[in-house]
């Protein structure tokens, strides 16, 4: 089986009702991202940050995978599929995808403030006073601005093995995720699915742009890949 590596961003979850990470005004769900998505914000007002992610976690229980997520599962019948996502939701897993790497963390996990390798599954509210085994406050298992991306090396190794690269619902403007495309083998075909693609077919050797939302775009992808 050929290895199909899929990079996904907020656009694939938008059709399930999850808001994209940051609106055009720079706010995330009405909050300045610096208040809720930085270590400094957590140090300044941990209760606000914990509540913010509690609300995001609750929203996850109200949404379902959409056709795009399900189409990626369908592709597992024909390819060795690896998904690298910038999303912190669990919609790929809910849909049934087997190999998912989360670059920016996961809403349904928390970790120790003292030891980032101490990670716990978590599906309820996280509050001040919830401590790890090292007696340190637990925090969302989210990669905040200014923090290292611990899964980046794994994502690079996966991308290097791609026979086909698919990019869905991400502008490829946010680093380090955007740098992954630099690691594909020469002449690897790329399929880019986005309703407003900020990319040109002249940018890469073998690039196919599918200008559409993720659900319809992945329908077209299946047509192109499974002939």
Please list the active-site residues. 104
Extract the tokens encoding 82. Answer: 């690896």
With beta carbons less than 8 A apart as the criterion, state whether 99 and 82 touch.
Answer: yes
Q: Is the peptide bond before 176 cis (omega within 30 degrees of 0)?
A: yes
Residues contacting 22, CB < 8 A, separation 6+ = 28, 33
DSSP state of 77: T
For residue 85, give the 3-state DSSP assignment.
strand
User: Cβ(6)–Cβ(161) under 8 Å?
Assistant: no
Q: Strands (DSSP E) along 9-87, which ranges?
A: 27-28, 31-32, 80-85
* CA nearest to 9, candidates 201, 209, 223, 197: 197
H or E, element range at 209: strand 207-210
């Amino acid at each position: 089986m050929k290895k199909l590596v899929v990079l996904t961003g907020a656009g694939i979850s938008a059709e399930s009702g999850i808001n994209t990470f940051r609106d055009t005004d720079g706010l995330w769900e009405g909050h300045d991202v610096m208040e809720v998505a930085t270590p400094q914000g957590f140090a300044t007002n941990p209760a606000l940050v914990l509540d913010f992610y509690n609300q995001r976690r609750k929203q996850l229980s109200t949404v379902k995978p959409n056709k795009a997520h399900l189409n990626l599962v369908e592709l597992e019948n024909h390819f060795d599929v690896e998904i690298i996502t910038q999303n912190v939701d669990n919609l790929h897993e809910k849909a049934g995808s087997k190999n998912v790497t989360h670059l920016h963390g996961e809403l349904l996990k928390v970790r120790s403030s003292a030891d980032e390798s101490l990670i716990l599954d978590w599906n309820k509210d996280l509050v001040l006073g919830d401590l790890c085994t090292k007696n340190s406050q637990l925090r969302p298992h989210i990669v905040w601005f200014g923090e290292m991306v611990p899964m980046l090396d794994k994502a690079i190794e996966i991308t290097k093995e791609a026979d086909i690269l698919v990019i869905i619902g991400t502008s490829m403007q946010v680093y380090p995720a955007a740098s992954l495309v630099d690691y594909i083998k020469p002449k690897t075909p790329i399929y880019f699915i986005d309703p407003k693609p900020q990319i040109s077919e002249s940018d890469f050797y073998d690039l196919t742009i599918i200008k559409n939302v993720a659900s319809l775009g992945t329908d077209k992808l299946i047509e192109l890949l499974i002939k």
